[in-house]
Amino acid sequence: MTISDYDQIRNLIARYSHYADDDDRSQEYRALFARDGVLVEGGVSLPADRLPLLRQLYCELKKQQPQPFGAKHLQMNSAIEIEGDTATAVTDLLTIQVRPEEGWTLGGAGQYVDDLVREEGQWRFKRREVHWYKGTSARVKSDDMAFNQTLALMIKNAMSGEST
């Protein structure tokens, strides 16, 4: 059975959520991106070769939080356009998060805007940029703000090659 390019791209998009949400999938997460691929989050371009380190730092920080602590990325409504060995996709995004006091709650909503490339016979993200909708996040508690600030510092240090 041959899988169409559209289905391969839909699988790539789905794997992103699985690998981003699972703590032990850093290398598989990296493999979703082209050799020179980037993830753009909050206006910061994160080169694909730095993603395993950033995932490791995130997972370490997450384990230090009161448990259960985490999130799930829910992606849907992907609109995909293919031209030869390149493609674009726009995918709606909803996150849910779990915290010990509240259980599962709405996290935030937005869209992924993707530039894709077929590399070594596999579709990969050349550029994946997340656009969060303003005002869609659940109320941010001080614990989550501290987590986000620490994570932002870790990302900055990792991008500059400094230790955390």
pLDDT the model gives residue 146: 67
Q: Give the model's pLDDT for residue 42.
A: 81
Under a CB-based contact definition with an 8 Å cutoff, are residues 131 and 140 in contact?
Answer: no
Domain ranges, ordered by start, for the chain: 5-160
Who wins on pLDDT, 155 or 3?
A: 3
Work out the average pLDDT over 28-52.
Answer: 93
**Nearest in space to 38 (alpha carbons), one of 128, 115, 123:** 128
pTM equals 0.85
CATH topology of domain 5-160: Nuclear Transport Factor 2; Chain: A, (3.10.450)
The band of 164, judged by pLDDT with boundaries at 50, 70 and 90, is very low
**pLDDT one-digit tens code per residue, 19-32:** 999 888 889 999 99
pLDDT band at residue 139 using 50, 70 and 90 as cut-offs: very low
Per the CB < 8 A criterion, the answer to whether 12 and 20 are in contact is: no
